[in-house]
Amino acid sequence: MKLRIGTRKSPLAMWQAHKAQALLEENGYETEIIPISSEGDLKLSQPIYQLGITGVFTKTLDIALVNNQIDVAVHSLKDVPTLLANGLKLSACLERGDNRDIFITKSDDFFTKEKRTIATGSLRRRAFWLNQFPNDELVDLRGNVQLRIQKLIDNDWDAAIFAYAGLDRSEILQELKTKGLNYHFLPEMVSAPSQGIVGMVTRDDLDLSHISNKNAEKAALIERSFLRKLQGGCTAPIGGFAKILDNDQVEFKGVVLSLNGKQKIEVIETATVADPQEFGTRMADICIEQGAAEMIKKIKKELNEA
């Protein structure tokens, strides 16, 4: 049986598809890659949160799966809705890459400016940045990583925020210096749930669990359960990261922020985790006890009125 691997057409998505293909072929599967345009790629003029609640980058591939046009959909797992369409499942995860966010600057005076212009298409990154630097101005930034880098160069912005793994996998990091750019890590910014993880979604009749990276899968289950209980998706500034330690120990940090970054609800816990989904849900419940549900309800109202 030849497995048809569906993927978005961006260079990063193709990199992910080839990684998934290599893992599948190492395990005896014959494969072919089928590139498909997603709605999120086609509508670059709108902020991500205006394109639909969740799944804007994955919906087209999900439809292809349901219609039996492909057998495996390969995604950046942070883009995949926590509730999948009927008949579909998260079948496997590749080994996790670096989960951290970085910001890229193009001037030596960045750190001496009183007010700067920062570009990002992510509500989470926007809110975390404003939490630390409330005087800065945030502007929207869309497109694949190559296009976003070029937009940073072409516009009168001071910096833009990216996922480290995306630039590393696209082999862009080493090119930044030649473009007059520098990158810096953001240690206070909690990454999006599943950031750095490549996931393979299949129909229920295909089981790839035997090739899944167990640490990445466990982290994904925790982080996605945390997000699902909070009902965040792309419409609220929510960060969640589970660091897998030895002996079933997990170190978890979850954060919910208001859109302007002024309000922050946080949970930090290290525990022995036998049931990842239960643990992620419990971490969300702790945030809800601190007022996260009310905050998210207010955020959704603000976005609908914008």
CA-to-CA distance for 57 and 61, rounded, in angstroms? 8
Catalytic residue, chosen from 79, 108, 140, 204, is 79
Whether 79 is catalytic: yes
Query: Looking at the annotation, which residues are catalytic?
Result: 79
